[in-house]
Amino acid sequence: MARKIVLTLHRNDLRLSDNELLHAAHDQHHKDVTHVLPLYVYDERFIELSGLPGYERQGPEARTRLCKFWRTGAFRARFLTEGVFDMRNSLKQRGSDMLLRFGKMEDVTTDIVRAIKDNGDEIEEVFFQKEYYTEELTIERNLRAALKKVGVKLVMFDQVPLIHVDDLPFAPEDMPDVFTPFRKRIENLEHLGRAPLPVPKQFKPFPRPANDANPWPGYGSQIETEHRGLEDVLQYLLRPLQDTFQLRAGSEGKNQKSAFPYAGGESAAMQRIDWYFKHGDPPPVARYKETRNGLLGHAYSTKLSPFLCFGMISPRTIVRALDEYEAKFGSTQNTYWVRFELLWRDYFLYAARKFGSKLFTLGGFEEVTDPKQAKQKTSPGWWKEWDQDESLKKHSEDEQTAVRWMKGTTGVPFVDANMAELRESGFMSNRGRQNVASFLTKDCKIDWRLGAEFFESHLIDYEPSNNWGNWQYVAGVGNDPRASRQFNPIKQGNDYDPRGDYIRQWLPQLAEVPTNRIQCPWTLSDKDFKKYIPEGSYPKRPVLEQQTWKAHYTRRGPSKQGVPNRNERVKNPGPLIVSGGAARTNGQNGHSSSNNSSPRGSSEQPRDRESRVIDKVIRKEGHGGDDSCRERNLS
Ligand SMILES: Cc1cc2nc3c(=O)[nH]c(=O)nc-3n(C[C@H](O)[C@H](O)[C@H](O)COP(=O)(O)OP(=O)(O)OC[C@H]3O[C@@H](n4cnc5c(N)ncnc54)[C@H](O)[C@@H]3O)c2cc1C
């Protein structure tokens, strides 16, 4: 008898719980479906596949549009692969499996659907997660058209945000452009997000191919028949990245110093949720608001973003954990604030939907919201061209400002320590991200897209709307009502790393510098500079120096560590989200005024390929009014 199959094509939904694709394949409406075929395709446009033996790439290398960095760096490649194998193991434990293939999502899927039909089996539907970025929409269109030709329907599931699009109190295209009104309208909803869906009780069997000699088509069947595991696949994926600094730093496994020392996958995500919301009396979330601006260790914030980005956990599951915590310990500003941050995630997701390809353009969302401003900010001279930095022109490529920012050799320790953390661990705190982004765009005045692409390549938790949206925000071309906001890295260093522990961790060459000079080592006398810093290990002068920094060279007053950001002190107590998501007003708990709305190496390091590549791009591209990034191209 013919088998009736549903194919669930997974991308950033690498989980079993609260996964609408898997849930639907096992629900009442699909009673007649006998088999479910979960498929994951490593797509050559997003991750470089040329290291796979015998793999023939159809398009160009998987590099970023402007700067040609690898789109998926070593840490994210590892995290993703761990997540893929974790999902496959979980499915296997439930009598199912997941097919792994490499290529282009729409081609691979269509070939498999054809093979299913040729085999005499029935297939009417392919389930797929809805994503709204230019490339992802193109893939969806191509896939829909290809499947239509073989008589199969593509069914989409819109499950990335916490608040389902149908539950928004406004049409998505009419969402408020500024975060605070967006948040306030959402907080008036009766429930903050729907209840998560359970893992299907009984998984339908995985449809094995007719015979082992004739596996499902697509590159990957050999890996399957040879029983290649995670480390083998990972080794192939990392092969092309051999020339990057990040790989060297991460090649021995996880960086022990990392603030994000976790493996990828739903299992690890669930463990983290358990630890953060349930472990201890009270659990760590009880101090979230005080600690979330931290820099060291894994406990200062939830560390859920990498799991969220790949859908290894759903935001609704996090809200469920908060509800359970509150049922036991009560709701506080700390729990309110986790929801508050999750709303930032939704805000950028929906803003990206609303503004489409403007997420990636030099002029950003402002091209729509304030075309006059955007015109000015995209005119020649607004952003400094990377190779036209007069003071550095005569210097070697290594000394270009953009390259020094990427390598963490600007000479400003708070910036460099954060960049070292990113390169050596794939993670950086929100505080760090804001500072390095502000330094690149507001101090160095370099095209913000360089920073966004560098983050895209290096972050474990890279997610288009959150990354590009936050970059726009800091660069002043997005939705920040205070577009001129600029961070003072000396003050920030004093406030958030008052003892210099963070700097010492990531810039060990500065370990001996006295604490009152660690944020500004150039103020040391020549003699002391030599005494405390190994020769040639750190720039003697910063790449630039602002007048406003000087007042903070000698720190005065108490540190802010452990003290909430001044902007976050309650001025106007607002609604408190209580268990179950209902909003109520509570004088003890509040939210911020609009201005709290902050979304929130050494010179001897071997010069890596990405620096060389960027130097080339710098010369080729130029920018200014360039809108060549209007659409991130498909290969
Ligand atoms: C320049 C820049 C680039 C960024 N790029 C990304 C990115 O690619 N992917 C990403 O997930 N986040 C990004 N962020 C947002 C933020 O820095 C991270 O989400 C956060 O540091 C992750 O750590 P956490 O999970 O411990 O956060 P927590 O403080 O525990 O927050 C809980 C969750 O709220 C969400 N959240 C928190 N802050 C923000 C924010 N500012 N914007 C959107 N969502 C937020 C995240 O999903 C996070 O997991 C960026 C921020 C900046 C300033």
Cβ atoms of 261 and 79 within 8 Å: the answer is no
Return the pLDDT at 256.
76
The dotted CATH code for 356-621 is 1.10.579.10
Q: Which residue has the tokens 């609260």?
A: 18
* Mean pLDDT to the nearest integer, 510-524: 97
pLDDT tens for 170-219 read: 999 999 999 999 999 999 999 899 999 999 999 999 999 987 778 899 99
| Mean pLDDT, rounded, of the chain | 86
Measured distance CA(47)–CA(236) in Å, rounded: 11
* Mean pLDDT to the nearest integer, 555-567: 49
CB atoms closer than 10 angstroms to residue 246 = 24
Measured distance CA(443)–CA(437) in Å, rounded: 9
Confidence label for 5 from pLDDT (cuts 50, 70 and 90): very high
Output the pTM of the full model. 0.88
Confidence label for 243 from pLDDT (cuts 50, 70 and 90): low
* Mean pLDDT to the nearest integer, 475-492: 92
Please report the DSSP string for 456-502 in residue order: HHH-TT--HHHHHHHHHHHHTSSS-SSTT----HHHHHHHH-TT-HH
Q: For ligand 1, what atom is nearest to the CA of residue 462?
A: 8
Cβ atoms of 434 and 471 within 8 Å: the answer is no
Q: How far is the centre of ligand 1, averaged over its atoms, from the C-alpha of 54 (Å)?
A: 38
56 or 244, greater pLDDT: 56
Please report the DSSP string for 377-402 in residue order: HTSTTSSBPTT--HHHHTS-GGGSHH
Q: Is the pLDDT of residue 480 over 90?
A: no
- Ligand 1 is surrounded, with C-beta below 6 A, by 292, 301-305, 308-309, 338, 341-342, 344-345, 348, 429-430, 433-434, 437, 455, 459, 461-463, 466-467, 470-471, 474, 599-600
Q: Is the pLDDT of residue 572 over 60?
A: no
Lowest-confidence region among 45-59, 371-385, 426-440: 371-385
Hey, what's the torsion of the CAs at 408, 383, 347, 169, to 10 degrees?
Answer: 170
Q: Is 99 helix (H, G, I), strand (E, B) or coil?
A: strand
| Domain chopping of the chain, boundaries | 356-621
pLDDT tens for 262-301 read: 999 999 999 999 999 999 889 999 999 999 999 999 999 9
Q: Residue 300: CA atoms inside 13 Å, Cβ hemisphere, count?
A: 20
Annotated binding site for FAD: 288, 301-305
Instruction: Name the residue of 305, 334, 457 to mutate for ligand 1: max ligand atoms within 8 A of Cβ.
Output: 305
pLDDT tens for 297-352 read: 999 999 999 999 999 999 999 999 999 999 999 999 999 999 999 999 999 999 99
Confidence label for 571 from pLDDT (cuts 50, 70 and 90): very low
